Homo-oligomer: A and B are copies of this chain.
Amino acid sequence: MTRITHLLAQHGLNIVSMREFVEEASTRFFTRIECTGMQESEASVREELQACLPDGSIIEVNPNNEKRVAVMVSREYHCLGEILIHHYFGTLGASVCCVIGNHSHLEAFTRKFSIPFFHISHEEKPKEAFEKEVLAVLEAQQPDYIVLAKFMRILSPDFIARYEQRILNIHHSFLPAFVGAQPYRQAFERGVKLIGATAHIVTNNLDEGPIIAQQTIPVNHTFGVKEMIKAGKEIEKAVLNKAMQLLFEDRVFLNENKTIVFE
């Protein structure tokens, strides 16, 4: 720690905020330092940090540039709506470069905001072909992150590997409860008194990726599946919003299947 702050001071960098965490089991050390006054290239600072830190240290020097985000959707509008409005008014902390839908339901809505919408149907073709088309769009758009805003298809390991640690998903349950399909129906049938939503990084294991944010709200016996879905949408939006903010401000560190979140 002392070595890092010393080196930053030498480079004339002014530390605005600093957070750190030592994981006891692994004795891994995580730190997030926000600086102003960067005069040199990020590459040179990264190199010097690398030289003064133990082998195997992972160092990211992120400029305060706006991230580019591609959004993938199916038919539900509520998460996309939230994203596009924040984008339109400049409060997303990122810029939406395109929306990709396996249905065309949200095309007209997206175009209102002058954002390209790519309708790529998953029907009547193998998953591989569908993903190839999606990847072609993504390669052209070069997003930093992909947000699955209620995208209801499961992506293949190959696809995920291409954007490792860069795909954010919102799952409509308090994971690990109600993994998989129709979580609100599962919740209804179990008779829970809270429902939840979970934002997580996508890995090969469905609904098993590192969790960034979760939230719950009370329900009761008067809630049918329909009412749960409706109430759930409000927290899905809230949780996704929070996760995007944390991610786009470089506050989320991955540690195997967990996250360190410096809020």
Task: Please list the residues of chain A having a beta carbon within 8 angstroms of any beta carbon in chain B.
Answer: 1-2, 5-6, 9, 15-18, 20-22, 24, 77-78, 81, 85, 88-89, 91, 109, 112-113, 174-178, 190-194, 196, 210-216, 220-222, 224, 230, 234, 238, 241, 255, 257-261, 263
Is A234 in contact with B238, judged by CB distance below 8 angstroms? yes
How many copies of the shown chain assemble into the complex? 4
* Contact residues in B for A85 (Cβ distance below 8 Å): 77-78, 81, 85
Interfacial chain B residues near A260, Cβ < 8 Å: 221
Q: From known contacts A22-B17, A176-B177, A194-B196, infer whether A234 and B241 are also in contact, taking CB-CB under 8 Å.
A: yes
**Which residues of B lie under 8 Å from residue A210 when comparing CB positions?**
191
A-B contacts, 8 listed (Cβ < 8 Å)? A2-B2, A2-B6, A174-B194, A176-B192, A190-B257, A194-B214, A194-B216, A220-B261
Closest CB pairs A-B (n = 5): A191-B258, A177-B177, A81-B85, A193-B214, A221-B260
Cα–Cα distance between A17 and B29 once the two chains are bound (Å):
11
| Shortest CB distance A7–B (Å) | 10
| Chain B residue nearest in CB terms to A188 | B258
List chain B residues, Cβ under 8 A from A191. 210-211, 257-259
